[in-house]
Amino acid sequence: MKLEHVLLLFVLVACLSAGLHSSAGAVQGSVLIVRVSSEIAGPTVELFTRSIEEANIGGARLIIYELNTPGGDLGSVTDIMNALNSSPVPAMVWVTPSGAAAWSGGVYILMSSHIAAMASGTTIGSAQPVSALGEPVTEPKYINALSGVLRDNARLHSRNETVAEEFVTQNLNLGPDEALRFHVVEFVADDVQSILTQLEPYDLIFSKSETGTFAWKLVSRDMLGGLEYSRSFDFSNISQATQYTYEPSLDIGLLEILSNPLIASVLLIVGLYAAIIGFKTPGYGAEIAGGLMIFLALVGFGIIGINIAAALLFFLGVVCTLVEIKTHIGVFALGGIAMIVLGSFFAFPLPGWELLSAREVESARMTLILVALVMSALFGAVVYKVAEARRMRVKGGVEEFVGKIGIAASELAPRGEVKIEGQIWKAETLHDHVGRGEPVEVVGREGLVLRVKPKHPPPEVK
C-alpha cells in the first residue's frame, strides 16, 4: 500500500472517530443524569464542574448525580462541595444502585447537595478522615474542622446537624430508612422516575431564617405562603421532563486512568528507567518515551495541573518537531506527534469558552485532536519524502553506476565512449583495448569519466 493511501485511510478513520464521539447534551427543561462510580479525585472534580456547566448552558431544571464511591481526596471533595453549593442548577445526589455506598468523602458530597436521596440497600457514613497510609486521623484539630464542615453544610441545606457531626466523630453509618427518618436525606427511591414523581409537589427555596441567615429548603408548594426567600425552583411536572445521561469526555477518562495510584507509580518507575537507558543508548527514543511517562505520572499525582500539562505538551511537541527537522532521526517526530495528540486530549477551554455547552467544547476538542493527527500525518509524509530524496541523491553517486553493463560506443584504447542505459558517457578501460560494440561493466567513476572493463559473456554449456 502506498504512503498516500495509508494517510488517506488514517484521515478517514480520524474523521469518523470524531464524528461518532458527539452525543446529546442537556436541553431546556431537561434532567441531566451523571454517574459517579469511582474514587473521588481530580477527574471527579472535572466531571462535576463540566456537568454543571452543561446543565446551566442547556437550561436543565435538575442535575441528578448517581453516586457510588468509597471516598477520596479531601481537596477534590472540597472542590466538589464548593461547585455544588454555587451551582445555578439544583443538584440532587442519589446514592444508587442497591448495594452502593457513599462513604467518607461521598457523605460530604451528599450533604452539600440541594436534594439528597438513597436507593434501597445503600449505605452512607464513615466520614472520619484517614491519612495517606489509611490510618484514621484522631487529632481534634482535624476532627473538629471536618465535623464542622458537615454540620454547616447540613444547616445550609436544612438537614440534621447532629447526625452530620456523628458521621465524622463516631463514624456513623445509616441505611436509607434511618437516613430518611433522621432527616439526612429527602427521598428514598429505586429509579429516577420515582424520585421525580416524589419531587413534583415541592419547590426548592433559599429562605431566610430567624437569625437572618439563609438556607435551602424543600417545601410543599401549598406551604409557600408567608415564607421569605430570595431564590426558588419549581419542580412541577418534572417527571415529564426529558432525561439525558451525561457522557464524560475522553480526557476525563484518561485522567481517571492516570490518577490511579498504581498506574501513576508504574509510569514513574518505568519512565525513570527508560530515561536512564535512553541517555546511555541515544537515538532509539527511550529517553523521549521515559520523559513522557514521567510527565504523565506527575499529571496523575496532581503535581502538574491539566491546563499546564496541555500547554507543556504542545510546546514540547513543537520542540521535538523542530529537532526532527534538523536531525532526521525519526524518534523525535514520533515523540512530537505523541505529545501534540496528548496535549489535544488535555486541552481545556480558554476564557470565553464558558459560553459554550459541554457538547460544543467536546466537539472543539475533538476537532483539535483531528487537526493534530492530520498535521502529524502530513509532517510524517514530508519527512518520508525528504528521506526518500536524500536516498536518491546518495544513489546518484558512484554506487549508481558500479556493476552496470553497457556497450562500447567507440573503440576504447584506453579512452572512448560507452552507452549505459541509453546515455553516452566518456569512459576509460582498465585493459589495453575494448572494441566497438563489445559489452563492458562499470567498476568505478572519476568525475564524469566511467572506469570500465570488458564484460565477457559466460561460456556456453554443451
pLDDT class of 460 with cuts at 50, 70, 90: low
406 and 381, same structural domain?
no
Whether omega before 261 lies within 30 degrees of 0, making that bond cis, reads no
Count how many Cα atoms sit within 13 Å of the Cα of residue 456 in the half-sphere of its side chain.
4
pLDDT at 436: 87
Q: Which whole number is the average pLDDT over 448-460?
A: 75
Backbone conformation region of residue 232, classed left if phi is above 0, alpha if psi is from -120 to 50, else beta? beta
Confidence check: pLDDT of 17 > 50: no
pLDDT at 158: 92
273 and 187, same structural domain?
no
331 and 189, same structural domain?
no
pLDDT at 39: 86
Instruction: Write out the three cell numbers for 180.
Output: 430518611
442 in Cβ contact with 451 (< 8 Å) = yes
Greater pLDDT, 228 or 114: 114
Greater pLDDT, 190 or 131: 190
350 and 446, same structural domain?
no
pLDDT at 405: 87
For 424, the enclosing helix (H) or strand (E) is strand 423-429
pLDDT class of 301 with cuts at 50, 70, 90: confident
pLDDT at 355: 41
pLDDT at 2: 45
Confidence check: pLDDT of 392 > 80: no
98 and 76, same structural domain?
yes
Q: Which of 38-47, 106-115, 183-192 has the lowest mean pLDDT?
A: 38-47
Instruction: Write out the three cell numbers for 423.
Output: 546515455
pLDDT class of 11 with cuts at 50, 70, 90: very low
pLDDT at 176: 96
For 287, the enclosing helix (H) or strand (E) is helix 286-300
215 in Cβ contact with 246 (< 8 Å) = no
- Residues of the domain holding 443: 399-454
Confidence check: pLDDT of 295 > 50: yes
350 and 429, same structural domain?
no
pLDDT at 208: 82
Instruction: Write out the three cell numbers for 285.
Output: 527514543
CA angle 23, 27, 29 (to 5 degrees): 145
Backbone angles phi, psi at 285, to 5 degrees: 90, 0
Which of 198, 213, 242 delimits the end of a domain?
198
192 and 260, same structural domain?
no
Calpha distance 277→31 (Å, rounded): 53
Calpha distance 325→328 (Å, rounded): 6
- Say how many domains are in the chain: 3
In a domain, 218, yes or no: no
Confidence check: pLDDT of 6 > 60: no
pLDDT at 351: 40
431 and 373, same structural domain?
no
pLDDT class of 106 with cuts at 50, 70, 90: very high
CATH number of the domain where residue 447 is located: 2.40.50.140
145 and 34, same structural domain?
yes
In a domain, 271, yes or no: yes
The residue to which cell 463514624 is assigned:
171
pLDDT at 445: 81
Q: Which whole number is the average pLDDT over 239-268?
A: 78
pLDDT at 354: 42
320 and 288, same structural domain?
yes
pLDDT class of 153 with cuts at 50, 70, 90: very high
Nearest CA to 10 out of 379, 322, 359 is that of 379
When the pLDDT of each residue in the chain is averaged and rounded to a whole number, the result is 79
In a domain, 316, yes or no: yes
Question: Identity (one letter) of the amino acid at 383?
Answer: V
320 and 446, same structural domain?
no
pLDDT class of 363 with cuts at 50, 70, 90: low
Q: Which whole number is the average pLDDT over 94-112?
A: 94
| Contacts for 437 with CB less than 8 Å, ≥ 6 apart | 407, 408
Question: Identity (one letter) of the amino acid at 430?
Answer: L
pLDDT class of 395 with cuts at 50, 70, 90: very low
In a domain, 436, yes or no: yes
Residue 286 CA to its chain's centroid (Å): 23
| Contacts for 447 with CB less than 8 Å, ≥ 6 apart | none
323 and 404, same structural domain?
no
Confidence check: pLDDT of 393 > 70: no
Calpha distance 421→419 (Å, rounded): 7
